[in-house]
Amino acid sequence: MRRVTRMSSHALVLACLFLVAACSSQVASQAPAATGVTVFEGARLIVGDGNAPIENSAFIVDNNRFTTVGRKGEIAAPAGAARVDLTGKTVMPAIVDAHGHLGFLDMANGTMSKTNFTRENYIDHLQRYAYHGVAATISTGTDMGELAYRLREETIPGAALIRTVGLGLAWPGSGPNDPSRNDVPYAVTTVEQARKAVQDLAPHKPDFVKIWVDDRNGRQKKLTPELYQAAADEARKHNLPAIAHVFGLEDAKGLVRAGVEGFLHSIRDSAVDDEFIKLAKEHNIWLTPNLGGMNRASLIRANGTPEWFDDPLVRETIAPAIIKARAEMYEKRRAGGAPAPSAAQTFDLPNTRKLHAAGVRLVLGSDTAGDSNRWIGMMTLVELENMVAAGLTPAEVIVAATRDAAAVLRLDQLGMVAAGKSADFIVLDRNPLDNIANVRKISQVYLRGQEVDRAGLRAKWQAQWSKATSTQ
Ligand SMILES: [Zn+2]
């Protein structure tokens, strides 16, 4: 009896191995091999530098790098190279998103909580970014423990790279909005605490020191100039660049003078003035406008929903129960009359336009997963539309979301389709230069030369949804 059991389990293992082999050989016939050289040809190629696209392009990927980029018929492919025909498609660099909060949101059921903050969930988030064509992001101030620092050292196939600031600094309760995370950052009320927090962070080598300065419409206290100056000074002593979440114009000026190099969010209490623009340019400041991603009020159409809500990407990645709740929320709002736009949304578009016209560096930052209504992936993609609404051209927005965002995060290998760069790119069915919303028309995503298994990810998420339904 025992022997029979062993034999059958042995047979089962053999059957499984056969299946795995069959599946992987099928994948290999569609996608380039794990090692080796592949020529991708025929696509309209948006390089990521703002120049006109290369029509009928060809580019060579050797293992995980681009080696040659040019026009079809004009570049020499090595003998034996695999070929992928992308005629009719548009290729652009994979996106880099310079503002997110990973780990707390469970996309299977829509909950936000500290108990969701696990390695498994964090990697799920990185896979969701990858699914939507995002090659890297940074988690900005809510990374508990060592998890994000550890993941930063890893390269996970089919997942975006992560950068992290560890924990940010805020006046108690004035950091993250979401209740599940508002006690997570360093609570700072004295200069000593500000310096101690940075000293605490330094051995972890966070990518930045993050400082929140926002009174949340007068509902909270915020870090005083004395406190954020101490934090920025301590960061400088440890050779760490500093960034700030900002709301008000005068705080933004004070933070530039204190030595902060970039801002998450734009100025939202008033119109930016010449003094700020001069300071920002003198200090080569960068800023993520953070125009609300998929949740911007102006995206809502007469029928009460935004256009992105109809996108197949939603059905592919979001649990049906969450979609249903969202549809009900839209219907309730439509029936009740649309709420007036917030004061912040009165100033943010014109300020973005003005800063851009003045030549201040703007990069993509979506604030993804900062609450349960900021869905991973869609939040990033729709933010590109908001930046076009602010007055940037689609070509400029693509640069802000690729080359320039990569530069800000010191990810020099990302952000362009160019020889020597990491082979991270999106194959689109339509041209985003015609309409930036076409960044949602994703055919394939490649990260580090490998096609992201989007069908496999869809299957994983669908299995989670049916499990959630059956246990209800
Ligand atoms: Zn944020």
Strand order in the sheet with 134-141: 95-100, 134-141, 161-167
- Note the pLDDT of residue 339: 66
Q: What tokens appear for 404 in the block?
A: 């320039």
Please give the helix or strand (H or E) that residue 327 lies within, else none.
helix 320-336
Per-residue pLDDT tens over the stretch 71-94: 999 999 888 999 999 999 999 999
- Nearest Cα residue to 139 out of 169, 113, 109, 167: 167
Top-ranked range on mean pLDDT: pick from 12-16, 267-271, 425-429? 425-429
Mean pLDDT of 428-452: 98
Q: Are 378 and 308 in contact (CB under 8 A)?
A: yes
Go through the chain and tell me how many residues it has: 472
Amino acid symbol at 79: A
- Between 441 and 468, the more confident residue is 441
Listing from the earlier edge strand, what are the strands of the sheet with 37-41? 65-71, 57-62, 37-41, 82-85
| Range with lowest mean pLDDT among 13-17, 158-162, 233-237 | 13-17
- Could you give the CA distance from residue 11 to residue 5 in angstroms, rounded to a whole number? 10
Query: What distance in angstroms lies between residue 33's CA and the mean position of ligand 1's atoms?
Result: 38
Q: Residue 177: is its pLDDT beyond 70? A: yes
pLDDT (0 to 100) of residue 351: 96
Q: What is the pLDDT of residue 470?
A: 64
CA proximity to 322, closest of 384, 248, 376, 383: 376
Reply yes or no on whether the pLDDT at 39 is more than 50. yes
Higher pLDDT, 162 or 31: 162
**What φ, ψ does residue 55 adopt, rounded to 5°?**
-75, 150
Distance 179 CA to ligand 1 centre (A): 14
Q: Supply the DSSP string of 206-275, one letter for each residue.
A: -S-EEEEE--TTTTS----HHHHHHHHHHHHHTT--EEEEE--HHHHHHHHHHT--EEES---SS---HH
26 falls in which pLDDT band (50, 70, 90)?
A: very low
Min mean pLDDT across 16-20, 113-117, 334-338 is at: 16-20
What is the mean predicted confidence (pLDDT) over 129-157? Answer: 97
Residue 337's pLDDT is what?
78
Query: Which of helix, strand or coil describes residue 400?
Result: helix
Q: What spacing in Å lies between the alpha carbon of 265 and ligand 1's midpoint?
A: 8
pLDDT (mean) for 437-451: 98
CA of 391 to the centre of ligand 1 (A): 23
Ligand 1 centroid from CA 268, angstroms: 15
Q: How far, in Å, CA of 29 to CA of 21, rounded?
A: 12
Residue 338 pLDDT: 66
**124 Cα to the center of ligand 1, angstroms:** 19
Say yes or no to pLDDT of 116 above 50: yes
What's the per-residue H, E or C state across 159-209? CCEEEEEEECEECCCCCCCCCCCCCCCEECCCHHHHHHHHHHHHHHCCCCE
Distance 290 CA to ligand 1 centre (A): 9
Is the full-model pTM beyond 0.75?
A: yes
Phi, psi of 439 (to 5 degrees): -65, -15
195: number of Cβ within 10 Å: 18
Ligand 1 centroid to Cα of residue 372, in Å, is 13
185: its two tokens: 């950052």
Q: Cα–Cα distance between 243 and 220 in angstroms, integer?
A: 20
What is the C-alpha separation between 267 and 362, in angstroms, rounded? 13
Q: Say which residue, 193 or 15, is predicted with more confidence.
A: 193
Can you tell me the distance from the alpha carbon of 144 to that of 141, in angstroms, rounded to the nearest whole number? Answer: 9
Cα-to-centroid distance, 191 and ligand 1 (Å)? 23
Dist. CA 446–CA 443, nearest whole Å = 10
Sign of CA dihedral 101, 104, 105, 106: positive
What span, in angstroms and rounded, lies between the C-alpha atoms of 375 and 266? Answer: 21
Measured distance CA(198)–CA(323) in Å, rounded? 41
Q: What single letter denotes the amino acid at residue 89?
A: K
Q: How far is the CA of 365 from the centre of ligand 1 (A)?
A: 9
The mean per-residue pLDDT over the stretch 272-286 comes to 98
Cβ pair 100, 63 in contact under 8 A: no
Q: What's the mean pLDDT in 242-249?
A: 96
pLDDT band at 385; cut points 50, 70, 90: very high
Count of CB atoms situated within 10 Å of the CB of 438: 18
**What average pLDDT score do residues 105-134 get?**
97
Give 72 or 466, the one with higher predicted confidence: 72
Which of the four pLDDT bands, split at 50, 70 and 90, describes residue 469?
A: low
pLDDT reported for residue 419: 98
What pLDDT is recorded for position 147?
98
Between CA 243 and CA 414 the distance in angstroms is: 21
Q: How much distance in Å is there from the Cα of 175 to the middle of ligand 1? A: 9
**Could you tell me the distance, in angstroms and rounded to a whole number, from the CA of residue 101 to the centre of ligand 1?**
6
How far, in Å, is the centroid of ligand 1 from the Cα of 99? 6
Round to the nearest angstrom and report the end-to-end CA distance of the chain: 40
Of 93, 94, 95, 87, the closest CA to residue 57 belongs to 87
Span from the CA of 74 to the centroid of ligand 1 (angstroms): 45
3-class SS at 289? coil
